[in-house]
Structures are given as structure tokens and as C-alpha cells.
């Protein structure tokens, strides 16, 4: 199950190290020393590999938990950024609609201080409605 003793034990794959830990787990100290001599290993290497094998699940669980927490935080950040983007797009649309309304109203009426006839009032209502459809709030559109 293990590579031949000619290969360097530190270059073994993790599967080979795991197999060495399994084969040597039930050995006594004398048998373990003989096993290590045959394989070109040190008992300290086997102890270190065994500790790594025993802690493998704990590391993967904590890594998975950290990854899940990072993903959750990233989703929250994305949601917040999307909400802010929608808010800013709405504000931009409202500003553009109000600027257009102001420009059209000045072009038609020229300013304040004169009486508005019925046709001009209908046109003003149409401009306010158009501004509201473009994203302006009714109150802001009426003020302009």
C-alpha cells in the first residue's frame, strides 16, 4: 500500500501518509521502530502525520464555516450596494425629470407674474405628469 523505501518519505502523497498511519496505528514501540526502519521513516514523522489526520476534519469544518460566513457577508454587502444603487438611480432620474420640466416650463411661459389660461394649465399638468412618469415625485414636480 505504501511507496517503496527508495522514495523520500516527505514527498509521499497524503494518501500514502494516511496509509502509513493506519498500518502503524496498532504497532507496539518495538514493532513501530522496525516498521520505521523498513520504510525509512522516523517515529516523529508518523506522530506528526497522525496528528494531521486527526485534525483534518476540524480544519475542514472551520474552513467551511469561515467560507460560509464570508459568503454571507459578501451577499449582505452586495444587497446593500444594490439598494444604494437603486436609490441613487431613482434620485438621478428625478433630478433629470425636474430639470427637463423646469426647462420646458420656462420655454413655454417665461416665468411668473402673468395669468395662465386653460390651455397653459393643461400643458402644465401634462408636463408634471410627464415628469412624474420619468421618475420625479409629484410634490417636487408641482413645485417646479
In a domain, 12, yes or no: no
In a domain, 62, yes or no: yes
Asked if 61 and 72 count as a contact pair (C-beta separation under 8 A), the reply is no
pLDDT in tens, 70-112: 999 999 999 999 999 999 999 999 999 999 888 888 777 766 6
Q: Which of 58, 29, 30, 4 is nearest to 20 (CA)?
A: 4
Record the pTM.
0.47
**Three-class SS of 100-123:** HHHHHHHHHHCCCCCCCCHHHHHH
Name the residue range of residue 64's domain: 42-143
The total number of structural domains in the chain stands at 1
In a domain, 37, yes or no: no
In a domain, 21, yes or no: no
∠ Cα 52 8 44 (to 5°): 40
In a domain, 58, yes or no: yes
Quote the DSSP letter at residue 7.
S
Query: Helix or strand or coil: residue 27?
Result: coil
Amino acid at each position: 500500500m505504501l511507496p517503496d523505501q527508495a522514495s523520500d518519505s516527505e514527498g509521499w502523497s497524503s494518501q500514502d501518509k494516511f496509509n502509513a498511519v493506519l498500518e502503524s496505528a496498532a504497532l507496539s514501540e518495538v514493532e513501530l521502530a522496525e516498521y520505521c526502519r523498513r520504510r525509512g521513516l522516523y517515529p516523529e514523522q508518523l506522530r506528526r502525520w497522525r496528528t494531521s489526520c486527526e485534525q483534518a476534519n476540524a480544519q475542514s469544518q472551520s474552513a467551511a464555516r469561515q467560507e460560509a460566513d464570508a459568503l454571507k457577508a459578501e451577499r449582505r454587502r452586495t444587497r446593500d450596494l444594490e439598494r444604494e444603487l437603486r436609490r441613487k438611480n431613482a434620485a438621478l432620474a428625478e433630478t433629470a425629470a425636474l430639470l427637463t420640466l423646469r426647462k420646458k416650463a420656462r420655454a413655454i411661459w417665461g416665468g411668473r407674474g402673468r395669468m395662465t389660461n386653460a390651455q397653459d394649465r393643461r400643458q402644465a399638468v401634462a408636463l408634471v405628469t410627464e415628469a412624474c412618469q420619468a421618475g420625479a415625485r409629484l410634490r417636487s414636480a408641482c413645485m417646479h
